Structure 1
């Protein structure tokens, strides 16, 4: 089974193994392009650049699909989370049409990869249904329908929807799709390697120097390239984009149904946060995948309750036989509704970024791959200005990046803390965590199911905000910019690129463990 950045197991990781990359041989120190991040954006971009004739290296801190790609619900939709009403208001009607064309092109590119490389990933066409449930939502739905039609998508009103949920009005948007994201990811990774691309997993970037060329320091050595692409969901280090992208967590579950009434299309209600539904067949078994209950990262004190609420919602409308999988995942919401794809603000022209996808990472990953490839190849793109990260101006103090991301002041080096005393302070039951004060210092303490104490500094190594415990995923999450760490402080999700400081704990006799 694959692993990902949390305790909960997703449907996708359960039905895939850890990717086995080919050994990198020959001259492996210089490349045309280095791509950082082994999710769907990174691999899609690497493949397209390699196809264009570039010599590429993809670096992944863990293994392919470890992050959000392994936790998505994999709706491939041109009916976007940010409605075309908002896009038109923020960017104008012409750019709303341009956005719609960009995501349609992205979907076509996914189809092309699947057909060209014969990728078996459960891909199938689907329509998307957006439905209202009260008078206020009816009006909003009519506005969205008109704006979506004006943007160039095929929209019709419909008297029925694919899910057994009461509704007042609904629209149908044709030309959507769904697939198994890990199978697709592995398929394009194999295609990329087959045409000469290199992948190094478990290789974290620790520093970047940019003169005429980009020198990338990693835990696996130093590499040099002409161009660098950050496909890490949010760029590491400190950058203005961290002030323009808000981290959220969303919850999902894959369930089997007693009556076998699995919806074949995609469906969305209009609450905020909204609920979403679809079906995927994996290894001969169909699963209803439902999601929702989004909240800002680190701001929900009881994340397990989000699963409870989602389960109650699904049980209200569906005859659940078994909840086979439940998981949560992280996404970053952009300030103005569109992602940031292009040159990284405050950095030289040969450093690129793709982030801020909201809930539409599957489709925007292909948009990013095509756009960044065109930028690196010095080709014209109609979408470059629309998604340009520099549509926001860097502010003083935020031009620094990885090289200047200083370590948090080390508070606990050389100190040894008695675990029995910490247990008394925290008053923890097994599988609980808490931030406590001890001798004038804060410690983030977790007691595992066996009674073992894990203690770290609660200061996020990105910008030193205090982390919060995520009960369902068993991680320390930063509410400021979305960095996440496991119980022992190891980085799970950026923008932090350094682990939390671990606290030395004095062992105790078994009689004292309670």
Structure 2
């Protein structure tokens, strides 16, 4: 594989790999303009997480006259927003036939309206705030490669049209992949996600909003109608609390109703300039997706796929297979970027947006966006803002976290959580062979038995070995090493830690414990 050196960037992500969005804009001015956190003040709403969901929600509430503070564990866009492939779709990973079957035809129509509203919100913010987000309207092609897929595609076409989505059969495919049938969705789009959220954030701060970076909320309490959220350095009080963090902290229903996945993306330069002008998706499992984005005059073919559950697959293999796949159809000059990002699949196909079940009234969540985070993150903002403000919202019931469908998604629920139980048992009680520390290569992490205990060990480029307790601080599963991202990933609920054990992704809020070991540096 030919891999270019990506330009240096001060922008951080939850991964060592850099996305194409990093290093393509200077955000230092916005980072410094964070507002001032007033000690002792009771804010109207605390938003935990500065991705597209949290920032959009905060801006809507601040515009409505409320006082809001965003607490971000790292920096804006650190999580999935900084690693998205940034497709803007009015059709979703939960297809309209599936939504019709599980929730009814009216719900499918409501979902379609939600997609259109989210897209309109993004367009409106870009226009009114004059954000240079590189927003472009595109068409999107979904294609079938065999007769079985064509039958499924026909159902998608018909149900999408019933839902009110603009889509028609097409005789040509956008990408040079052989196909059996293809349909084309109109009114789709793409943008630069980091430029977009920083434009929103700038307006939020201008309106008096407050952003506190490097503030991981470790715990929160609720008393006399007020939330108190604590980090290592500050305590924030607010009347409402919104976790815009995928899974909220702690072991709760959302941990069981969402499965963590990683998706892999390449940014490639082509030899023949055959860059597609639009969006394209196949129907394989896992599926592949294509689009083009031009940065500083250089177009990049962005191709993603090879998804697997977090902590279960081989990330390096996923990258290799994705590159092999795209080279079948495109004349690749070089791989300029390669990165992965995390998302969560809900058990019944639709996100959970609203009041967190079992929590104090006014505790809100938004999760289970599947591969449609930019759209559902935006729609979530409207739903959560209306809940905080006491306004009616037509989508509240459809996406309610309290819904319980006895049929929809039950098979997926059992499948996704069966291996969670396996890890709880097998990882705790199985024993592996102890490898010598000298066998450990630079940049490699491994779970070993050391003096009768399981230890997570990692060797850095200088040869220093770091040892950690491998038990995830969220629910007790054993983490696995992700070589591609140099992280320890939990295979149960998607918590991720860096090589020193620091939290990268929730739901855990506590770091892995450091283990003191002695080893022979000469071995």
TM norm structure 1: 0.92
**Could you give the per-residue CA deviations for residues 136-186 of structure 1, whole angstroms, max 9, x where no partner exists?**
001000000000110110111001121111111000111111001111111
SS in 2 for 1:15: coil
User: What aligned pairs does 1:386-465 form with structure 2 within 5 A after superposition?
Assistant: 386-392=398-404, 424-425=436-437, 427-465=439-477
Whether 1:223 and 2:232 are equivalent positions in the alignment is: no
Aligned partner of residue 380 in structure 2, secondary structure: helix
Aligned to 2:282: 269
Q: Aligned match of 2:35 in 21, 24, 27?
A: 24
2:507 matches 1:495: yes
**Structure 1 position 423, deviation (Å):** 7.2
Q: CA deviation at 1:282?
A: 1.1
Contact 1:45–1:373 under 8 Å retained in 2: yes
Name the residue aligned to 2:263: 250
Secondary structure, counterpart of 1:53 in structure 2: coil
1:205-248 CA-partner distances (Å, limit 9, x unpaired): 01111121111112231111110100002111111111000000
Q: Which SS does the other structure have where 2:218 is aligned?
A: strand
Structure 2 counterpart SS, 1:391: coil
Contact 1:125-1:175 at 8 Å conserved across structures? yes
| Residue 8 of structure 1 pairs with residue 17 of structure 2 | yes
Aligned counterpart, 2:387: 375
- State the distance in 2 between where 1:498 and 1:251 align: 27
The one of 215, 221, 235 equivalent to 1:209 is 221
Partner Cα distance (2:514, 2:404) in 1: 37
Q: How many Å separate the matches in 1 of 2:37 and 2:508?
A: 32
Tell me which of 33, 40, 57 is aligned to 1:45.
Answer: 57
Offset, 1:52: 1.2
* Structure 1 residue corresponding to 2:301, chosen from 288, 299, 303: 288
Query: What is the CA distance between 1:425 and its match in structure 2?
Result: 5.0
1:62 deviation in Å? 0.5
8 Å CA contact 1:214, 1:227 repeated in 2: yes
* Mapped pair 1:106 → 2:118: yes
Distance across 2 between alignment mates of 1:286 and 1:253: 13
Unaligned runs of 5+ in 1: 394-421
2:487 aligned with 1:475, yes or no? yes
Q: CA RMSD in A?
A: 1.4
1:235 paired to 2:224: no
Residue 427 of structure 2: aligned partner: none
The change in CA–CA distance for 1:23 and 1:93 in structure 2 (over 3 A counts) is closer
The whole-number CA distance in structure 1 between the counterparts of 2:447 and 2:173 is 47
Residue 333 of structure 2, aligned match among 310, 321, 328: 321
> Stretches of 4+ moved more than 4 A in 1?
none
Query: Would you say 1:337 and 2:346 are equivalent positions?
Result: no
Distance in structure 2 (CA, Å) of the matches to 1:71 and 1:306: 16
Q: Distance in 2 between matches of 1:319 and 1:69?
A: 29
86-95 or 427-436: bigger deviation: 427-436
Aligned counterpart, 1:146? 158
Distance 2:27 2:488 in 1: 24
Give the whole-Å Cα distance in 2 for the aligned partners of 1:239 and 1:15. Answer: 38
**1:198 is the counterpart of 2:210:** yes
Equivalent positions of 1:73-222 (< 5 A) are: 73-211=85-223, 212-222=225-235
| Cα deviations by residue, 1:339-380 (Å, 9 ceiling, x for unpaired) | 000001111221100000000001001100000011111111
For residues 21 and 213 of structure 1, the distance between their equivalents in structure 2, rounded to whole angstroms, comes to 29
Alignment-derived partner of residue 406 in structure 1:
none
Q: By how many angstroms is 1:121 displaced?
A: 1.2
Task: Give the gaps of 5 or more residues in structure 2.
Answer: 1-8, 406-433
Task: Between 269-278 and 189-198, report the one with greater CA deviation.
Answer: 189-198
Aligned partner of 2:5 in structure 1 is none
Q: Deviation of residue 18 (structure 1)? A: 5.5
